[in-house]
Amino acid sequence: MVTVYPGRYTTSIDGAFVVFLIGFRINRLLALRKWLPVARAMSPAHLPAWKAFNRSVGSEGTVGIWHETYQVAAGRSESICVNMPRSGLAVAGTHEPATGRRSDARSRMQHAGVP
């Protein structure tokens, strides 16, 4: 069972880092045999998801797939989560209460060195 942390939390990461996002969109819900293999491939890794997508769907339009990659310079990010399990940047970095100088986005960015 996943632990949900009640309240507001923020994250910080020392140094530069890369964010990689991957996802899919079901365009025809009833085409289960097309999108289910893609959905199952999403959790293990990037390459298996693309291979499953190409085998199951290709360019026929039942399911859309995407990925984005971002390079983030040191001190150039901020995050907030409320009543959530640790996820995203909170898994990669610290997970700390969003209080005091970390209570709002502007303060979190200034604390990270962004004017």
Please list the pLDDT of the chain residue by residue as tens digits (115 residues).
889 999 999 998 889 999 988 888 899 999 988 888 878 877 667 777 778 778 878 888 888 888 899 999 988 888 999 999 998 899 999 999 999 888 888 888 776 555 5
- Identify the DSSP state of 100: G
Chain centroid to CA 48: 18
Q: What is the predicted pLDDT for the residue at 114?
A: 59
Q: What is the pTM of this model?
A: 0.68
Q: What is the predicted pLDDT for the residue at 93?
A: 92
**Residues near 23 by beta carbon (within 8 Å), at least 6 away in sequence:** 42, 65, 66, 67
Q: Which residue type, as a one-letter code, is found at position 3?
A: T
Report the SS3 class of residue 79: coil
- Identify the DSSP state of 88: T
Report the SS3 class of residue 106: helix
